[in-house]
Amino acid sequence: MEQEFRSDKSGYMLMNKPGYPRVPSWPNLVWVIFLMMLFITILLWGVSFLAYAPLEEMAEWAKTPNPAKAPWYFIGLQELLVYFDPWIAGVMLPNQILIGLILIPYVDITPTEQGHYRWSQRRFAVAYFTFGIAFWATLIFVGQLLRGPSWQIYWPIIDYDLTGHSWTREGIPLKQGGLKLASLSTGTGMALLIGFFSIGMILPFMVTKLFPKSNVVQGLDRYLKELGYIKYFVVQSHVLMMTATVVKIILRLGFNIKYIIETPWFKI
């Protein structure tokens, strides 16, 4: 830790060095904060004058809306329910996202790259994080704006004839997927899952051995050496988990595969 903190030659932040341009907080910072408070208050007031907070009918246990949607910030997880059982989509994945976010500073190997939007030394980290954010935003977009009754895709603008059935009623199909979903046999599924994670773990090392001359691969080689095995394992297992989530979505949408592994106790 000490070494990381002192990896800069002097060990100090530039702004703490003598001669760095610093200005008194009054009025420079206080002014920005005051304007921000004023701006946010006016904006919020304006929005609240124009748009009512939603209020539907009184809660009723016997009247299930179709679909019943989670708040927008959790709807990505609800959208994942199409592809995973609830114990993965609603419990394991959100926990893993939080753990992964917490671990970010502890797997970092470019401690001096901070304080500016300059990503040339941290291309992989930025690309991985951005993909995660985009993935999360896409799930929210699909779940919030495209999903309608029976959690089917309803495109915006098109006026669908729901014949007044906005509540769930048995025997009245609104818009059925009509898909026959299949699952892989246990052997195939196990082989696929174990194969995916073990090959995924050693793939970067194989690439460095196979194409040692390419510039990109030499960069990868340096990155792997700096990372060390423990940090590599932490990073790569999260990369593989996110990739596996995307692969499962592709398998479900493209090949109608419901489960990769089916056991009496759990299904993946």
Partner 1 sequence: MSEHHHQKKTPAQKTFELLSALLTDNPIYKSIFRTGYPSTLLKQMAVMRSSFYMHIFPTKVGEHGLRLRYSWCMGGITFFLFLLLALTGILLMFYYVPEEHRAFNDMKDLRFMVPFGVILRNMHRWAAHAMVLAVMLHMMRVFYTGSYKAPRQLNWVVGVLLLLFTLLLSFTGYLLPWDQLGFWAVTVGTNMASASPLVGYEGPFHELLGVQVDNDIRFAIIGGTRIGPNALVRAYVWHCVGIPLVATLLMVFHFWRIRKDGFSGPL
Segment 95 to 154, residues that bind partner 1, using CB under 8 A: 98, 101-102, 104-106, 108, 110-117, 119, 122, 126, 129, 133
- The DSSP 8-state label assigned to residue 88 in this structure reads I
Q: CB of 202: closest distance to partner 1 in angstroms?
A: 28
The 10 Å Cβ neighbour count of residue 102 is 9
Q: CB of 36: closest distance to partner 1 in angstroms?
A: 5
Three-state secondary-structure class, residue 262: strand
Work out whether 19 is an interface residue with partner 1 (CB under 8 A): no
Rounded CA gap, 25 and 8, in Å?
27
Rounded CA gap, 256 and 139, in Å?
19
Residue numbers 149-188 binding partner 1 by CB under 8 A: none
Work out whether 89 is an interface residue with partner 1 (CB under 8 A): yes
Residue numbers 36-55 binding partner 1 by CB under 8 A: 36-37, 40-41, 44-45, 47-49, 51-55
Of 128, 162, 155, the residue nearest 235 (C-alpha):
128
Work out whether 61 is an interface residue with partner 1 (CB under 8 A): yes
Instruction: Please check whether residue 152 is in contact with residue 174, taking contact to mean a CB–CB distance below 8 angstroms.
Output: yes
Work out whether 250 is an interface residue with partner 1 (CB under 8 A): no
Q: Which two tokens stand for residue 153?
A: 């895709």
Instruction: Please check whether residue 155 is in contact with residue 146, taking contact to mean a CB–CB distance below 8 angstroms.
Output: yes
Among residues 25, 185, 198, 214, the one that binds partner 1 under rule CB under 8 A: 25
Q: CB of 60: closest distance to partner 1 in angstroms?
A: 7
Q: CB of 213: closest distance to partner 1 in angstroms?
A: 31
Work out whether 229 is an interface residue with partner 1 (CB under 8 A): no
Work out whether 24 is an interface residue with partner 1 (CB under 8 A): yes
- The DSSP 8-state label assigned to residue 97 in this structure reads H
